Amino acid sequence: MNGRLRDEYDVDDLNERLSGTAFAGHLHYLPSIDSTNRLAMQEAAEGAPAGSVYVAGQQTMGRGRGRHIWHSAPGEGLYASVLLRPHLAPADSLWFSLAAGLAVRQAVLNVTSLAADIRWPNDLLLGRRKFCGILAELNAEVTRVRHLVIGIGINVHQEHFPEDVAPTATSLRLETGRAWPRQDLLLALLQSLHREATGLGQDPSIAAADLLHRLEQASTWIRGKRVQVGEEEGYTGTTAGLDECGFLLVESAGRLRTVLSGSVREAEAKIPETGAGQ
């Protein structure tokens, strides 16, 4: 098969089917771009409206979390960045990033029936392998978010991965033996994201409690998982829920530590961990 050759986006159809959401009429397709997150941050700074979505056929310099890159070969994955202008304090912005993980999970479940695990903050895994990464980037004053860009990369059609990520990456195709249309995935994703953003926009504290509940149901990583936090100077411990801002708590050597940054990996993982972003 070469399903990916026919797997193009129909932007007009998406714009129409997203009617009633902030994304309708704001979808932009770029056949090739360095990074949709880079573009979205730039467009945001230049006044692009909330709800703008930038979708690429390929990225030549896809950004991952930390200093990782996101391999973004032509036609293989879904590469999209969504621009939001939420009315919230920067301290609450992690909830949007967590909600994006739940939105992708729901979209993938709706389209493929696969129930992904969520590794805090928002990596999506099938088994022990990652098929989706989310990079949320923020432009803020101390008390006010100017704009938030949520960049989502989903491995859809990949049958092979570059060496650095091959031991830990997977795709929807590899997991199911089927080609899933990126159009359907993107539509489902933006519909889910619309629901999550609407909830957070109404009453962030109620939405956060609801998110926490749903995350605990959807993720094996929030509580009771033995993890390695960070790399060389890191530590191991057992996950113990999220704090009031959505940061992961880890019980380690008799004390509760908050994971503010750094990667979280399963301790004593059975497949080699590379630390790479995909």
- Which residues contact ligand BTN (rule: CB under 6 A)? 35-37, 59, 62-65, 68, 70, 79-81, 123, 133-135, 151-153, 277
Torsion of CA 100, 102, 103, 105, to 10 degrees: 120
Q: Which is nearer to ligand BTN, 28 or 68 (CB)?
A: 68
Q: Which is nearer to ligand BTN, 206 or 271 (CB)?
A: 271
Q: Which is nearer to ligand BTN, 54 or 204 (CB)?
A: 54
Report, in Å, the least distance between residue 37 CB and ligand BTN.
Answer: 4
d(CA 186, CA 80): 8
Contacts of 44 (CB under 8 A, 6+ apart): 52, 83, 85, 139, 146, 147, 149
Q: Which is nearer to ligand BTN, 96 or 204 (CB)?
A: 96
Report, in Å, the least distance between residue 262 CB and ligand BTN.
Answer: 13
Q: Which is nearer to ligand BTN, 169 or 211 (CB)?
A: 169
Q: Which is nearer to ligand BTN, 129 or 207 (CB)?
A: 129
Report, in Å, the least distance between residue 152 CB and ligand BTN.
Answer: 6
d(CA 198, CA 177): 35
d(CA 172, CA 271): 19
Report, in Å, the least distance between residue 79 CB and ligand BTN.
Answer: 4
96 to 74, 81, 153: CA distances (angstroms): 28, 13, 16
| Cβ pair 176, 136 in contact under 8 A | no
Report, in Å, the least distance between residue 83 CB and ligand BTN.
Answer: 12
Report, in Å, the least distance between residue 235 CB and ligand BTN.
Answer: 21
d(CA 143, CA 135): 22
Q: Is the peptide bond before 121 cis (omega within 30 degrees of 0)?
A: yes
Q: Which residue in the shown chain puts its C-beta closest to ligand BTN? A: 133
Q: Which is nearer to ligand BTN, 54 or 95 (CB)?
A: 54
d(CA 20, CA 27): 14
Report, in Å, the least distance between residue 136 CB and ligand BTN.
Answer: 9
| Cβ pair 37, 149 in contact under 8 A | yes
Q: Which is nearer to ligand BTN, 37 or 219 (CB)?
A: 37
Interior angle at CA 148, CA 132 and CA 234, nearest 5? 55
Report, in Å, the least distance between residue 143 CB and ligand BTN.
Answer: 27
d(CA 171, CA 175): 6
Strand pairing partners for 158? none
